[in-house]
Amino acid sequence: MHKIILIIKREYLTRVRKKSFLVMTILGPLLMAAIVIVPIFMATRGNEMKTVEVIDQTGIFFEKFKDTDNIKFHYLVSDIASAKSGFRKTGDYALLFIPKTEVSIPTNAILYADGSVSINIQSYIRNVMTKQVEDMKLEAKLKDLQTDKKNPLNVEDILRSVKTTIDVNTIKITDEGKEEKSYTEINMVLGLFAGIMIYFFIFMFGSQVMRGVIEEKSNRIIEVIISSVKPFQLMMGKIVGVGMVGLTQFLLWVVLTFAIVTVVTSTFTGKVAGRQTAEQSIVQNAAKYNPDNLPLPDAVSGKKVQDEGVNKVFEALNSVNFPVMIGAFVFFFIFGYLMYGSLFAAIGGAVDSESDTQQFMLPITVPLILSMVMSQFFIQDPTGQVAFWFSVFPLTSPVAMMIRIPFGVPYWQVALSMSLLILTFLGTTWMAAKIYRTGILMYGKKVNYKELWKWLRY
């Protein structure tokens, strides 16, 4: 056990210290961030005029939505049902509906649209509404204070009571006039993202395992090492060590991508909506009423409103069963890698150089690539026969199941898929260990499948 840790440590450290690791760690998030940011950027640049129809049953927001360079607000005076049926004919971009609430203060609004509504417009609407409601609350609060002179002014209390969150829900109106709260896109993105991550991880780090084995063979250190440790320990140490390099890289990517996206999008949306954060305006207003010129807490001026783009995503994410999603991702990520990693290690052990790997790589890469190619079928029909069999067959299940999971998969299918994967992992590891053990001591021999079959039976 002690020795397998030594091996893992070596495999891990030598790879993490490489320049290529650093380069990948930086390039990856830039690429991923670009995928997220570019559409937002494009959306903010689009100068096509969009008309948003507004039905305000509360009457609070009349004339409060100011037209901007690319958004025009058109106030309707009709009931929501007829507005919705009329909406499709007008060809307008979206229909904003602010329903009357029991209590006087509105907290939510609904955006009806053909497709998805740009994050920009949503955040603009939310900003205007939030500011309006907060101003109202503040005014009321300050009036109270003026009549009740005994209570000293406490800025933090006021801020807390004034703080408002407005929900803007997007509802898609389909051609048939049906409404659906459509989260399919998010499901698809989530599933595909998880699937692609696993696919990518297996390929990239699986072949690193293979190259590592070939390296040890070709620089002839292998015999020195296996006179100190069992070949199985060396193989597992390498697979686990490389896997941990992959996890490290993956975690760094997630953290860095998140950081980049947050920074960039907040500067974008902040600039475009030209918003003043609610706190800042409150602080300014409050200062007017602050008789003793009390120093304001620093924290107030530095606060930022939660990012709207993230809000929308979170909202949609509520429809996904997250514990299952994350649990499944971790499971398929790890076991998919371990299963394929052992196969890659076996190939590395069987050949002398990377150019000899072709014939053995084929049966491994075909299922993986196929599960990616077939992904559109899984998305179109997540509960269909094709999706079912691909997500149960162990060589394709890590990718296929992850694509299906956000759409909701019966637990028995997940359990079946997982147990088959574990069984296959045990089988491939046993097989790989046999091939590896024999192969690493063979030099200069062209190995074919018949030969491998013989090794399995030693």
The Cα–Cα gap between 333 and 455 comes to 30
- Cross-strand bridge partners of residue 51: 72
Nearer to another protein, 162 or 351 (CB): 351
Residues in CB range of 14: below 8 A, 6 or more apart: none
Q: Find the binder of another protein among 20, 151, 227, 355 (CB under 8 A).
A: 227
The Cα–Cα gap between 450 and 437 comes to 17
Nearest in space to 307 (alpha carbons), one of 342, 352, 275: 275
The Cα–Cα gap between 404 and 18 comes to 36
**What x-and-dash track marks residues 304-333 binding another protein by CB under 8 A?**
------------------------------
Which range touches another protein (CB under 8 A), out of 67-75, 121-129, 221-229, 420-428? 221-229
The Cα–Cα gap between 389 and 377 comes to 12
Nearer to another protein, 31 or 221 (CB): 221
State in angstroms the smallest separation of the CB of 115 from another protein. Answer: 52
Q: Does 196 bind another protein (CB under 8 A)?
A: no
State in angstroms the smallest separation of the CB of 230 from another protein. Answer: 8
Residue 217 phi, psi dihedral angles, 5° rounding: -70, -45
Q: Are 90 and 53 in contact (CB under 8 A)?
A: yes
Q: Record the tokens describing residue 248, joined without a space.
A: 């490290």
Nearer to another protein, 5 or 27 (CB): 5
Q: Does 223 bind another protein (CB under 8 A)?
A: yes
Q: Does 161 bind another protein (CB under 8 A)?
A: no
The Cα–Cα gap between 340 and 365 comes to 10
State in angstroms the smallest separation of the CB of 1 from another protein. Answer: 13
Q: Are 52 and 74 in contact (CB under 8 A)?
A: yes
Nearer to another protein, 40 or 235 (CB): 235
Q: Are 306 and 265 in contact (CB under 8 A)?
A: no
Q: Are 55 and 82 in contact (CB under 8 A)?
A: no
Distances (CA, A) of 89 to 79, 92, 93, 151, 301: 16, 8, 11, 56, 46
Nearer to another protein, 6 or 294 (CB): 6
Nearer to another protein, 147 or 227 (CB): 227
Q: Does 221 bind another protein (CB under 8 A)?
A: yes
Q: Does 454 bind another protein (CB under 8 A)?
A: yes
Nearest in space to 309 (alpha carbons), one of 254, 272, 279, 255: 272
State in angstroms the smallest separation of the CB of 201 from another protein. Answer: 23
State in angstroms the smallest separation of the CB of 210 from another protein. Answer: 17
Distances (CA, A) of 53 to 65, 121, 272: 11, 12, 21
Q: By three-state DSSP, how is residue 158 classified? A: helix
Count of residues binding another protein (CB under 8 A)? 21
State in angstroms the smallest separation of the CB of 415 from another protein. Answer: 39
Q: Record the tokens describing residue 30, joined without a space.
A: 């830039």
**What x-and-dash track marks residues 229-268 binding another protein by CB under 8 A?**
x---------------------------------------
Nearer to another protein, 53 or 216 (CB): 216
Nearer to another protein, 161 or 228 (CB): 228
Q: What residues between 5 and 44 interact with another protein by CB under 8 A?
A: 6-7, 10, 14
The radius of gyration computed from the CA coordinates of the chain, to the nearest angstrom, equals: 29
Distances (CA, A) of 96 to 88, 127, 128, 145, 204: 14, 14, 13, 35, 47
Q: Does 228 bind another protein (CB under 8 A)?
A: yes
Q: Find the binder of another protein among 26, 204, 426, 441 (CB under 8 A).
A: 441
Q: Find the binder of another protein among 34, 142, 226, 247 (CB under 8 A).
A: 226
Which range touches another protein (CB under 8 A), out of 94-102, 105-113, 227-235, 346-354? 227-235
Nearest in space to 288 (alpha carbons), one of 386, 164, 145: 145
- Cross-strand bridge partners of residue 74: 53
Q: By three-state DSSP, how is residue 327 classified? A: helix
State in angstroms the smallest separation of the CB of 458 from another protein. Answer: 8
State in angstroms the smallest separation of the CB of 448 from another protein. Answer: 13
Task: Report the interface residues with another protein, using CB under 8 A.
Answer: 3, 6-7, 10, 14, 215-216, 219-221, 223-229, 441, 443, 454, 458
